[in-house]
Chain A
Amino acid sequence: MSKSLRFLLPLALFVALVALLFFGLGTDPRKVPSPLVGKPVPQFTLPTLQDPKRTVSDADLRGQVSLVNVWFSTCVSCRAEHRQLMAIAKESGVQIVGLNWKDDKPDALQMLRQFGNPYHVVAFDEDGRVGIDWGVYGAPETFVIDRKGTIRYKQIGPIDQAVWQETLRPIVDQLKAES
């Protein structure tokens, strides 16, 4: 390498870095997916929120397309997306399974009484251990599960009208079309 080229090397590296960062700006960091995407749902068995004697397990997520929504009652964003979940439950008929995460049971039940219950069933993950297996980072998070029980998408952050219409719904429709 000639001498003056050697001094251009830092500049060249920096240009490559800028190109990369510029690319990074154009992509949505929230799309950085869970390592679980493409993998079967983690095994779990949890009591339901309403009735500790009944249980929910990963088996309940097989056979139909489901959304697994992680929430807790004092989480502001969860409350914000609740109305949208109600709309989804009514409109699309996709099975929504709640994972009530590290919550206070009376508060959680109160919230469902007050704002309605969009969930087919709610698993009560009191100590957050199942949440750890699912790689839950903070509520709300929503996983899209296909018929075979494979996680196909993870939505971090609340679902609003736009997220549902533009992102989740196409995925759900596509998964429903898969046999």
Chain B
Amino acid sequence: MIPEIGHFALILALALALVQAIFPLAGSFTGSRAWMGMARPLAWGQFTFTLLALAALGQAFLTDDFSVAYVAHNSNSLLPDMYKVSAVWGAHEGSLLLWATLLAAWGAAVATFSRALPLAVIARVISVQGMVSIGFLLFMLLTSNPFDRIFPMPPEGRDLNPLLQDFGLAIHPPMLYMGYVGFSVAFAFAIAALIGGRLDAAWARWSRPWTTVAWIFLTIGIALGSWWAYYELGWGGWWFWDPVENASLMPWLVGTALIHSLAVTEKRGAFKSWTVLLAISAFSLSLLGTFLVRSGVLTSVHAFATDPTRGTFILIFLCVVIGGSLVLYAWRAPSVSTGGGFTLVSRESFLLANNLLLTLFAALVLFGTLAPLIYEAMAWGKISVGFPWFNMMFLAVMPFLALFMGIGHLARWKQDEPGRLARQLWIAFALSVAVTALAFLPGISAGHATVPLGIGLAAWLTFSHLTGLYERLRHKRGLRGALADLTGNSRSYYGMLLAHLGVAVLIVGITMVSHFGVEKDVRMSPGASQEVAGYRFQFEGAQAVNGPNYRAHRGRFLVFEGDRQIAVLEPEKRAYLTGGMPMTEAAILPGLTRDLYVSLGEAVDQQGDWALRLYYKPYVRWIWLGAIFMGLGGLLALSDRRYRTAKQRVQAGDTIGAAGTARI
């Protein structure tokens, strides 16, 4: 009964989405306040019904209702409750439902928190979100209904993919989707602005906080995914340039460009059409990511659903949404004014340069991801674009990004003097050169030119931002002035500072772990020891243990640093009762400057010998630490009082008429 209620709730949500897509938008043109006023209640209703559907599916999982095909395929009565909940989005149908629910949640949030916005703007934004909702709900109801029943009802479920039975992966998809779907708000604002013909600073100011929130979620979501891959796949890698990872990286890169471009549009009125294009692209790439994962166009470690009908549907949906927006863009954008001019040496220039670099890298990632397909389409033969290619492109583009990042934040808007910048930055520059030179010493760089490069760039980012902080606080009166600055109107500045330092931290992590990580594949007998990077791993043997829905071998290792025992590590090799590949549960001793990592391979013989992998991962935590800094920086920027005061200002200066069309 309850699954039918869920199904019905989805149909109602679709009906509401149809109304939501048509009436508020139409009202914004005819000037009907009643029609525009429908927008907010519809957004809330949409959210209520999708949430109801999600709850119904959750209930089916928690009560082991295996008459629902999706539950039977992805759960098991032995599955711990926590994973029964996360299994809701563990596969195709449920993750779509989560997508749709989050989309509706963002819509409801816009409806709730944008009271100060002109009604016509809100009506259009919510209408655009309704259009996107229609696509997802139709997709679900036509090709991937999570509430489909099976008959006869199987006595037991097939169980959730063991790889997904993990805390990190339980929360990774919701985070990532919050980010993907969050860009729908920036997208909806952009489309609404194009429809209304009003592209101005106010539009950028409205979009900024939403975009930042989405970007924070995406940042954390990607970091969680990387962390999960690191400890769960048992390879000790943290990024694989897998198509699905790339699918999340591309919107992040473009989204990062977008939050910077929005800043320029808000403050200087420049880059308007470029910002709109980025807003469209960020969400389009999120949709494309969904397409790549769901359609089976590309094979990937993550591909859990490959079905051509679904692929065709998503492709048509992509054509309508992205194609439609780009047509609108091509039609409307040419008449947008170019806004504030700027000279070559100005903050605008540096931000533009980094915008282009981020976009270029996103384009390269897209190309690399699709290259096998391009080659096949052109009948040039088959290629596989792997790790080395992506790494090379990363190294070709990203150092420049870091270089400009160090200057841009100090440069003045509109026009700056190279001499002034040089006077402020020469100390930071000299220090970074010194650090780079130091890192060139063979004892440190171990002969890799990329080590001094990475360390030098991280130093450059750190020193130049510290210089910026010093320059800023120099004019404040003492410590109290500094504190007032922090608590006052400039939290967005400190958010920027923290996020940019996060990039420096990330660079250190990537550089160190890529060059100084040690991986050792060994065969060990119980009682034997192995030395890795100065740590001694003593194998105590492996024993059989039983989990709730798996059997496992659990190895036991004593780890010594010198003579001192610093940890006991217990990696596991699990065989889930429902079959499939055995799963590796690595045991990790985390640390700020190094991780020690053991994963069990295979039992080699009956005497208790095991094939094992021992890893030493220096500074690997800094990769995720950097992402956390970026996320916190985003939060800090978000709490800036400017966004709150901005609301009042907008309200006071509400000039857009109800029928304010095509005023460009």
Binding stretch for chain B, among A20-28, A141-149, A161-169: A20-28
Are the C-beta atoms of A14 and B330 separated by less than 8 Å? no
Q: How far is the CA of A127 from the CA of B382 in the complex (A)?
A: 30
Nearest 10 A-B pairs (CB), nearest first?
A: A11-B326, A24-B297, A29-B299, A127-B611, A8-B330, A7-B330, A24-B373, A4-B334, A7-B333, A25-B311
B30 at the interface (CB under 8 A from A): no
Given contacts A29-B297, A76-B580, contact A14 B334 (CB under 8 A): no
Q: Are A11 and B329 in contact (CB under 8 A)?
A: yes
Report if B469 contacts A (CB, 8 A).
no
For the complex, is A128 an interface residue (Cβ under 8 Å from B)?
A: yes
Residues in A with CB closer than 8 Å to B377 are: 20, 23-24
B77 to chain A minimum Cβ distance, whole angstroms, is 19
Report 26 cross-chain contacts, Cβ distance below 8 Å, ordered by A residue.
Answer: A4-B330, A4-B334, A7-B334, A10-B326, A10-B329, A14-B322, A14-B323, A15-B323, A18-B318, A18-B319, A20-B374, A21-B318, A23-B376, A24-B298, A25-B295, A25-B297, A25-B308, A25-B311, A29-B296, A29-B298, A29-B299, A29-B306, A74-B575, A126-B602, A127-B604, A138-B581
Q: How far is the CA of A76 from the CA of B159 in the complex (A)?
A: 14
- Cβ–Cβ contact B327 & A11, under 8 A: yes
B634 to chain A, nearest CB (A): 27
Asked whether A76 and B299 contact (CB < 8 A) given A7-B330, A20-B370, the answer is no
**Residue-by-residue, is A22-65 near B (CB-CB < 8 Å gives 1, otherwise 0)?**
11110101101101000000000000000000000000000000
Q: Does B197 sit at the interface, judged by CB under 8 A? A: no
> Chain A contacts of B319 at CB under 8 A?
18
The answer for the CA separation of A27 and B384 in the assembled complex, in Å, is: 16
Interface mask (B313-345 → A, CB under 8 Å = 1, otherwise 0): 001001100110011011001100000000000
Q: Once bound together, how far apart are the Cα atoms of A23 and B311, in whole Å?
A: 11
Determine if B582 is an interface residue (Cβ-Cβ < 8 Å).
yes
- Interfacial chain B residues near A10, Cβ < 8 Å: 277, 280-281, 326, 329-330
| Interface contacts beyond A7-B334, A14-B326, A33-B382: sample of 16 additional A-B pairs, CB < 8 Å, sorted by A | A10-B330, A14-B284, A14-B322, A17-B370, A20-B373, A20-B374, A23-B377, A24-B298, A32-B299, A32-B382, A74-B579, A74-B582, A75-B579, A75-B581, A76-B580, A104-B603
Q: Are B291 and A21 in contact (CB under 8 A)?
A: yes
Of residues A14, A74, A76, A138, which shows the largest number of chain B Cβ atoms within 10 Å of its Cβ?
A14
Question: Helix, strand, loop or mixed for chain A's interface?
Answer: helix
CB pair B311–A7 under 8 Å, yes or no, is no
* B273-325 residues at the A interface, CB under 8 angstroms: 273, 277, 280-281, 284, 291, 295-299, 303, 306, 308, 311-312, 315, 318-319, 322-323
The answer to whether A25 touches B312 (Cβ under 8 A) is yes
Q: Is A3 an interface residue (CB 8 A)?
A: yes
B618 interface contact, C-beta 8 A: no
Instruction: List residues of chain B with CB within 8 A of the CB of A7.
Output: 273, 329-330, 333-334
Residues of B within 8 A of A22 (CB): 315
Is A83 part of the contact surface with B, judged by Cβ < 8 Å?
Answer: no
Determine whether the beta carbon of B330 is less than 8 Å from that of A11: yes
- Chain A residues with Cβ below 8 Å from B277 are 10
A11-B327, A11-B330, A138-B581 known; A21+B297 contact, CB < 8 A = yes
Smallest CB–CB gap between B329 and chain A, Å?
6
CA distance A22 to B273 in the complex (A): 29
Residues of B576-598 whose CB lies within 8 A of A? 579-582
Q: Least Cβ distance of A103 to chain B in Å?
A: 9
Which B residues are in CB contact (< 8 Å) with A18? 315, 318-319, 323
Q: Does B601 contact A (CB under 8 A)?
A: yes
Q: Which residues of A contact B575 (CB under 8 A)?
A: 74
- Nearest-CB residue, chain A, relative to B601: A127
- Nearest-CB distance from A27 to chain B (Å)? 6
Is B372 an interface position by the 8 A CB rule? yes
